[in-house]
Amino acid sequence: MTMFTFQAWKLWNENNSVALLNPVISNPCFQSEISRCIHVGLLCVQEFVKDRPSMPTIISMLNSEIVDLPTPKQPAFTERQNNSGEESSQQSQKRCSINYVTVTIPEGR
C-alpha cells in the first residue's frame, strides 16, 4: 500500500480526511466535495474486489446521485491490526503485506 493510501485511510477513520489537503490550495467551500472524493477513493481500494463499487456506481457517487456512501473497509496492502488497533506480539514480529504481487519488467532483446 502506498503511504498516501495509508494516510488517507488513517485520517478518514479519525474523521479528518481534509487534513490530506494542501492548505495553500484548498478552498473551504469545496471541502465536503473533496471529502466525498476521498471517501469514494477509499471504497475503490478496499481489499476485496467484491466490496469495491462498479464504475457506474462510482460515477453516481461522485455526482452525488447516491447520497449515503457505504463505510469503506480496510484498503488492500495494509498491515492487519487487531480490534483494539494495537498489533499483537505475533503480528509485530512478522510485518508483511497481506497481498501477493508479482512484478514483471519486460525488456527488449
In tens, the pLDDT along 25-72 reads 777 888 888 889 999 999 999 989 999 999 999 999 999 888 899 999
Residue 103 lies inside a defined structural domain of this protein: no
**Exposure class string for 14-37: b at 16+ Cβ within 10 A, else e:** eeebbebbeeeeeeeeeeeeebbe
Domain hosting residue 26, numbered range: 3-93
Global confidence as pTM: 0.65
Distances (CA, A) of 50 to 15, 19, 20, 44: 25, 29, 27, 10
For the chain, how many structural domains are there in total? Answer: 1
H or E stretch including 52?
A: none
Q: Let me know if residue 79 belongs to a domain.
A: yes
Residue 34 within any structural domain of the chain: yes
- Mean pLDDT confidence for 83-88: 48
Task: Please give the Cα distance from 36 to 91 (Å, whole number).
Answer: 33
Share of the chain above pLDDT 70, in %: 74
Q: Which residue has the higher pLDDT, 18 or 71?
A: 71
In a domain, 106, yes or no: no
* pLDDT at residue 28 in the model: 80
